[in-house]
Amino acid sequence: MRYGLENEAGDALEVYPYTFKMWKKDHPNVSIREDMSILGDYRVVPVADRGDRPAPSDPVAFKVERGPEVKTDGAWAETWIEVALTADEIAFRQSQKDDADVKIAVKADAFVGNFIAMTPAEVASYVEGEVTNLASAKLLLKRMAVMLLLLARREFKD
């Protein structure tokens, strides 16, 4: 449980989070045991934990941050709010998502797993045996181009 220091009117928190150490500094001549729950006379109030950070509705365009503490039916609670990202942040996240999507697609292709396990001699043998016409050459070229794209993005991206 976390605590906050409520204002005189009881409609806002002046300090949040408010710790026992902070209370002791504010009240050096008062002696009590370390139990924040008994400090209601000093406007120290419990604030319910907001739980785990929820996922944003669109992870490319939004982020979730801690929101303001709210008082409902006399009890304070933490909140989460969704915040829109800037155009630059969205572009960066979209680029990361695109890269991740390509990587997932490539890893899901059985050819890639087999190809990366081959020796140079096995690659040469594979090309000799499997590339027999234009269609099979195009298929191999497409698969290798996607793998090359991933490598290029990793190596040459700013």
Beta-carbon contacts of residue 8 (< 8 Å; ≥ 6 apart):
43
Residue range 104-136, pLDDT digits in tens: 877 777 888 788 889 999 999 999 999 999 999
Report percent pLDDT > 70 for the chain: 97
How many Å apart are CA 113 and CA 106, to the nearest integer? 9
pLDDT beyond 70 at 40:
yes
Domain edges within the chain: 2-84, 87-156
Neighbours of 95 (CB within 10 A): 13
pLDDT for position 93: 94
pLDDT band at 32 (very low <50, low <70, confident <90, very high): confident
Average of pLDDT values for 55-73? 94
Is the pLDDT confidence value at 71 over 70? Answer: yes
pLDDT over 80 (residue 35) = no
pLDDT on residue 11: 93
pLDDT at residue 158, as a whole number? 61
pLDDT averaged over every residue in the chain? 89
Please classify residue 18 by burial: count the beta carbons closer than 10 Å to its beta carbon, then call 0-12 exposed, 13-18 middle and 19+ buried: buried
Q: What is the mean pLDDT of residues 49-77?
A: 92
Q: Cα separation of 18 and 46, whole Å? A: 10
Output b/e per residue, 110-128; b: 16+ Cβ within 10 A.
eebeebeeeeeeeeeeeee
Over residues 56-62, mean pLDDT: 94
